[in-house]
Amino acid sequence: MIKEAFGKGATTEAAIEAAKSELGAPWDADVQIEVLKTAKKKTLGLFGGSLAEVRAYYEVPDEVKKPEPKPTVKNQKPAKPEKKAEAKKPEAKKEAAPKKQEAVKETEKTVGDASKAAEAYIKAVLEGMGVKDAEVTSCEDDESVYVQLDCGNDYGYVIGRRGETLDAIQYLTRLVINKGKDNYKRVSINAGNYREKREVTLRELAKKNAARVKKYGRNVCLDPMNPYERRIIHTTIQEIEGVDSHSIGSESDRRVVITLAEGFKATNPSNGRGRRGDYRRHDNRSQSREQQAPARAPRSDLEGSLYGKIEPKAKEE
């Protein structure tokens, strides 16, 4: 389920803050921002102009209610006690099976209007990029549209640096299929098995930097990431004892910061970069300089033969 709020302001930053305050999301929620309208200045400071409008939203997991088997037990009472126990076992098993099948049916992925629209748009984009013979398959459920790309030898061109091109195609596809629709759906595009490999890389990155934070006690700020990648980092950090994580920045510059958890101390804080024995070397140098500098008495510029007074020689008679 998507929870959303809208905000307006004189600038885009002000509109984002208004939308976030209206949304009231928890601190660990992965809030995403969509700019609907940018601000326009007034002509001569008097006429025209408009406020910036943004949409802030985040995903709230749906609660799944477990079915209670009590009604099935009540309908089986008109019998002898011994026969009740024998009849309950097979009938309970038979009734539990359809419920599992119903739960599976709710999560089954089908091909609908949204997935067809996404597939047609992505094919047009790939053709415009010059990617030929690309296979695009899609399906959807009640909340998301899933697209799988098979690009042959053009995976690197479609994915881009750290998945930037693939994320851009995914963002544009989400705008296309949700335009004018009341039922908002997320879009997930995968090229080959890039998403799986990227998840493994991000988990290793989180573990490596978490170990550095626990050893030296210094915060580590990672490069900007999209919401999907930041969620992987936060999930991995939650599994590691002694470290915490939070996000800073906004929009495309939002990134994850890994910090030492409260109550934990670094195992080797003195060996941080640029601090090893600085104060000791400084003290030793100052002491050696004091020992090497001998005390000198003040000396007049007139002393010595070089700067002494010049007396003219007397002429011999």
Q: Report the greatest alpha carbon distance in the chain.
A: 163
What mean pLDDT is predicted for residues 75-103?
46
Higher pLDDT, 77 or 127: 127
Q: With beta carbons less than 8 A apart as the criterion, state whether 206 and 236 touch.
A: yes
24 Cα distance to chain centroid: 19
Q: Over 131-151, what HEC string results?
A: CCCCEEEEEECCCEEEEEEEC
- pLDDT value at residue 272: 52
Which structural domain, as residue segments, surrounds residue 234?
196-260
Residues 180 and 220 in one domain: no
Q: How many CB atoms lie within 10 A of CB 139?
A: 18
58 compared with 142, residue with greater pLDDT = 142
What gap in Å lies between CA 4 and CA 85, rounded to an integer?
Answer: 51
Q: What is the DSSP string of 188-254?
A: EEEETTHHHHHHHHHHHHHHHHHHHHHHH---EEPPP--HHHHHHHHHHHHTSTTEEEEEES-GGG-
Average pLDDT over residues 155-184: 91
Among 260, 295, 311, where does a domain finish?
260
- The residue from 59, 75, 103 where one domain ends is 59
- From residue 221, alpha-carbon distances to 28, 150, 215, 216, 248 in Å are 17, 34, 16, 14, 9
Mean pLDDT of all residues belonging to the chain: 76
Q: Are residues 211 and 183 in the same domain?
A: no
CA dist., res. 167 & res. 144, Å (int)? 16
Model confidence at 86: pLDDT above 50: no
- What's the CATH number where 182 sits? 3.30.300.20
pTM of the model: 0.51
Q: Are residues 145 and 174 in the same domain?
A: yes
Cα 264 from Cα 243, distance rounded (Å): 8
**Tokens representing residue 82 in the block:** 């011994």
Q: What is the DSSP letter of 271?
A: G
What is the Cα–Cα distance from 114 to 139, expressed in whole angstroms? 9
When pLDDT is cut at 50, 70 and 90, the band that residue 102 belongs to is very low
pLDDT for 222-267, tens place per residue?
999 988 899 999 999 999 999 999 999 988 889 999 999 999 998 8
Burial class of residue 295 (count of CB atoms within 10 Å of its CB; 0-12, 13-18, 19+)? exposed
Q: What is the pLDDT of residue 47?
A: 64
For 107-160, what is each residue's pLDDT tens digit?
Answer: 577 888 899 999 999 999 999 999 988 899 999 998 899 999 998 888 898 999
- Is residue 134 included in any domain, yes or no? yes
**DSSP H helices in 5-154:** 12-23, 70-74, 81-106, 113-129
Is the domain of 182 the same as that of 207?
A: no
Do 242 and 180 have their domain in common? Answer: no
Considering the domain architecture, whether residues 128 and 154 belong to the same structural domain is answered as yes
The residue from 147, 162, 192 where one domain ends is 192
Strands 144-150 and 186-191: parallel
**Whether 120 and 155 share a structural domain:** yes
E strand or H helix at 171: helix 164-178
Q: Are residues 229 and 162 in the same domain?
A: no
Is 71 among the domain residues? no
252's torsion region: left (phi>0), alpha (psi -120 to 50) or beta?
A: alpha
The answer to whether residues 213 and 249 belong to one domain is: yes
pLDDT band of residue 56 (cuts 50, 70, 90) is confident
Identify whether 86 is part of a domain: no
User: Using the 8-state DSSP alphabet, how is residue 316 labeled?
Assistant: P
- CATH code assigned at 255: 3.30.1370.50
Q: What per-residue confidence (pLDDT) applies to 270?
A: 62
Q: Does residue 316 form part of some domain?
A: no
φ/ψ region of 130 (left if φ > 0, alpha if ψ in -120 to 50, else beta) reads left
What's the total number of domains in the chain?
3
| pLDDT for res 87 | 46
Structure tokens at 56: 């802030």
Residue 52 lies in a domain: yes
**CA 249, CA 255: separation in Å to the nearest integer?**
6
As given in the structure block, the two tokens for residue 91 are: 């009938």
Is the pLDDT higher at 29 or at 261?
A: 261
Query: Is 299 within a domain?
Result: no
112 vs 273, more confident: 112
Domain for residue 132, yes or no? yes
Reported as a pLDDT band with limits 50, 70 and 90, residue 80 is low
Confidence of residue 273 (pLDDT cuts 50, 70, 90): low
Asked if 121 contacts 168 with a C-beta cutoff of 8 angstroms, the reply is: no
